[in-house]
Amino acid sequence: MTATDSTFTAVRSVLARTLQLDGKAASLTRGTELLGSLAELDSMAVVQVLAALEEHFGIVVADDEVSADTFATLGGLADFVESKLAA
């Protein structure tokens, strides 16, 4: 399921705020690679981002729902959130 523009924008905002990306947020696109490419996104930050997304969107993410693919790109992460919202 492809994320709506509003979901994508909100996910980007949550990610930027959680990782304290400051001015970098505006340059993040659907194709921006995250895990392994974004220095601020380490294993502890993944947990923080998931918690922030859960809080912001009112969703619950089970441990077995998350993989490296979920955090491969910003678009993929937004699509994951969109699928949780539709469930």
Structure tokens at 26: 């505006």
Contact at 8 Å (CB) between 34 and 72?
Answer: yes
87 three-state secondary structure: coil
Per-residue pLDDT tens over the stretch 22-63: 888 889 999 999 998 989 999 899 999 999 999 999 999 998
Give the closest residue to 77 by CA, choosing from 50, 51, 56. 50
9: CB partners within 8 A, 6+ apart: none
Domains of the chain: 5-86 (1.10.1200.10)
- pLDDT at res. 10: 97
pTM of the model: 0.94
What tokens appear for 68 in the block?
A: 């490296």
pLDDT surpassing 90 at residue 11: yes
